[in-house]
Structure 1
């Protein structure tokens, strides 16, 4: 009886990591469609046969590489500024600066640009990305807001979290993705987050009622 091995992490972990690293680097540089299995093999220092023994095609390789990258995003440690984390405003400021700094990083921008090319072809990747990326971020922020019921008047914490994130982001995502004043946009993250927290507190604070 012949069995078909399910696609997944290669048995040879060292070569598997080399293949995934090489594939992801080439996908970022050229886009998925422009990259050949031969190019990935050459970059990884393995044979074409080694790649095909572990992945059905380059799209399966992309899916595995993207899953690995999303896991890295899920567990990423971001340097967080100190000073005011013991207050609600401080907690929101810490969260905002951390997430906006990551979203503006070269690593994140490259990941999103490459991922977007494949989303329409592979909705399962899009769903997974949303769940552990934007979806989890909004859920975490909503949890912070829900724990501040004595300070805030909010009827829907998820919607409020989305509104606060919108204040932080503004048009910065377009500027960074398009490379328009990207450096200036990154330098203004702290100022933009502080202003967003200020506006949010004015809108939802019990003291303003």
Structure 2
């Protein structure tokens, strides 16, 4: 098969990002003015590409981030398997490592390989990975889609990249992210490889 090219982006900025408020799968926030500008810049940089499909989560901040491509009439599918991790009772609250011992403790557990751990009422990385495998299987079952755009969320993106590249989930923080950053991933039919890592050149 020919190489499948996956343009994997995180959504643009929201007011919650600026305010340091937790957004998980249960917070359906929208882009702020800066986020819409980021989306416009990404569109301007990549509108010349012919995407066979645009995939997003079911949350509006991802769909708003690729609206320029959707306005072109490109095929689009929204999948809950691409939604952000659920942070449980912490969603919608201000949270920092210094102020929240439980959050810091769970991050440490993940780094130690205890990826079954979760915040109260939330999801574990293992559970996020399990639901993402539904999307991965779907994506690989469609070889005719050679160029695809996928817009999702920071923590969920880290989990997905670990799965595609065969890394342990304990390594997920190695995949840094910023609002509207790009990871370009190629799939040859047997393996995935990263061609662009944390690419934000389109925002400058």
TM-score higher than 0.5 here? no
Return the index of the structure with the highest Cα Rg. 1
> Which fold has the larger relative contact order, with Cα–Cα distance below 8 Å and residues 6 or more apart in sequence?
2
* TM-score normalised per structure 2: 0.28
Q: Is the helix fraction higher in 1 or 2?
A: 1
* TM-score normalised per structure 1: 0.28
